[in-house]
Amino acid sequence: MKIYDLLGIGFGPSNIALAISLDELRQLGHPLECLFIEKQPNFAWHRDMLLNDADMQISFLKDLATLRNPRSHFTFTNYLFEKGRLQDFINLKTFFPSRQEFNDYLCWAASHFENNCIYHEEVIEVLPEKKGNEVTLLRVISRDHIGNVRERLTRNLVVSIGGTPKIPDSFRALRNDPRIFHSSQYLSSIADLGHAKRIAIIGAGQSATEIFLDLHGRSSELEIDLIMRGRAMHPSDDSPSVNEIFNIEFTDYMFSRTPEERERLLKEFHHTNYAAPDIDQIENIFRILYNQKVTGISRHSVITNHITHEVETSEYGIRLQLADLETQQIQERDYDAIILATGYLRTHHQTILAPLATYLPNFSVTRHYRIESTPNFKPAIFVQGASETTHGISDSLLSVTAVRTREIGDALASLTHNEAGTITDRRVIA
């Protein structure tokens, strides 16, 4: 069986950026035989949240390449140039393209690597290949869309699989009810619920407010409740000084802190990314609620300071018992659909890598994204997007992607030149 230098799980922005970095390294004389495995049938960036009016929450200059190599073919600016829209984009006078356009940019970038990516195949587990007492290779097991199981061997692995939906406890048993779904399935699930009239959105972040505004614009028949634990909607803080926590150097700072200091930093800057929609979203919702007062026609509400206490479903609808966090009073409300804009978990790599757990104590990650392993485990495994607690809030965003992938690429290039795999990435990158 062929042995790859690198297999990548997922082909989202993180691994597309890595493919670009590896291509740069190939041009510098470090070719790597690599293949990425992606479960979607083709590239799409958060497909079910590609809403018409949604914009990027980050400057287009934090694209797949600019911060590492502004002269790259793969910058957003060159994409605009190739598509004949550079001047028009300049005249838009924005740093924040629509999400539709950024998706098109990412599709364009991904299309350059058709020969390095297998679509419609989901990696289900990774097994150790042993020689005596040593793990020398990894066997990556995947399943394609018609159920065929595939196996591939690799010297190294990079896991960049994004998040998995975070489902609150009270809804966990109802996961198979098509009337209750996570924001990551919004567009396809709402399309199947044409009859739904009363809809609750649980959450207070960007996805929750985007979905509220999208539903409001769909039909004047819909009645929408936005239900949140907080007392108010807090806007995302992207002011210049705060934004410095997304700078490249901040990763070194964060990583060098003690666990307590890191925790304090994550708490202090939580509202840059979590439960924090853009201010214009909050203003638009407030304007809709105000207009209801003017017209006397009340369709939507924002219910703050409440959590879901219990959920009952029947063929007629879904009844939520909502508990007031201050008074503990319970109110009951009936809906036709519930949308859980409740965020993501970033631990699924541990499930995929579970057969290797004895070699990867605690799944702790080095500064350069390599999972620490026991001395008898030779393959290097890197993760992207799963190290927020050690590397900072930028880890799950696009902010450091261009530079992070060069760090991983450098480590890989050095490792493959040292077949024994005995050097650590700290020595490689120093």
Ligand X SMILES: Cc1cc2nc3c(=O)[nH]c(=O)nc-3n(C[C@H](O)[C@H](O)[C@H](O)COP(=O)(O)OP(=O)(O)OC[C@H]3O[C@@H](n4cnc5c(N)ncnc54)[C@H](O)[C@@H]3O)c2cc1C
CA torsion, ordered 51, 55, 56, 59, to nearest 10 deg: 160
Applying CB under 6 A, which of residues 30, 31, 33, 46 lies at the interface with ligand X?
A: 46
Applying CB under 6 A, which of residues 23, 24, 38, 63 lies at the interface with ligand X?
A: 38
Question: At residue 128, what are phi and psi to the nearest 5 degrees?
Answer: -80, 140
Contact 155, 381 (CB under 8 A): no
Name the residue nearer to ligand X (CB basis): 238 or 336: 238
Binding status of residue 228 toward ligand X by CB under 6 A:
no
Name the residue nearer to ligand X (CB basis): 160 or 366: 160
Q: How far is the CB of 56 from ligand X (least distance, A)?
A: 4
Q: How far is the CB of 187 from ligand X (least distance, A)?
A: 11
Distance CA 366, CA 360 (A): 12
Binding status of residue 396 toward ligand X by CB under 6 A:
yes
Contact 395, 382 (CB under 8 A): no
Binding status of residue 207 toward ligand X by CB under 6 A:
yes
- 154, containing H or E segment: strand 149-159
- Stretch of residues binding ligand X (CB under 6 A), selected from 324-332, 364-372, 396-404, 418-426: 396-404
Q: How far is the CB of 394 from ligand X (least distance, A)?
A: 8
Distance CA 156, CA 159 (A): 10
- Stretch of residues binding ligand X (CB under 6 A), selected from 150-158, 196-204, 219-227, 390-398: 390-398
Site for ligand X in 156-175 (CB under 6 A): 160-162
Q: How far is the CB of 398 from ligand X (least distance, A)?
A: 4
Q: Which of 81, 76, 77, 56 is CA-nearest to residue 64?
A: 76
Q: How far is the CB of 134 from ligand X (least distance, A)?
A: 26
Site for ligand X in 95-154 (CB under 6 A): 122-123
The 8 Å CB, 24+ separation contacts for 419-425 are 420/378, 421/155, 421/378, 421/379, 421/380, 424/366, 424/370, 425/366, 425/367, 425/368, 425/370, 425/380
Q: How far is the CB of 327 from ligand X (least distance, A)?
A: 34
Q: How far is the CB of 384 from ligand X (least distance, A)?
A: 5
Give me the amino acid identity at 155: R
Site of interaction with ligand X (CB under 6 A): 9-15, 37-40, 46, 49, 56-58, 122-123, 160-162, 207, 384-385, 396-399
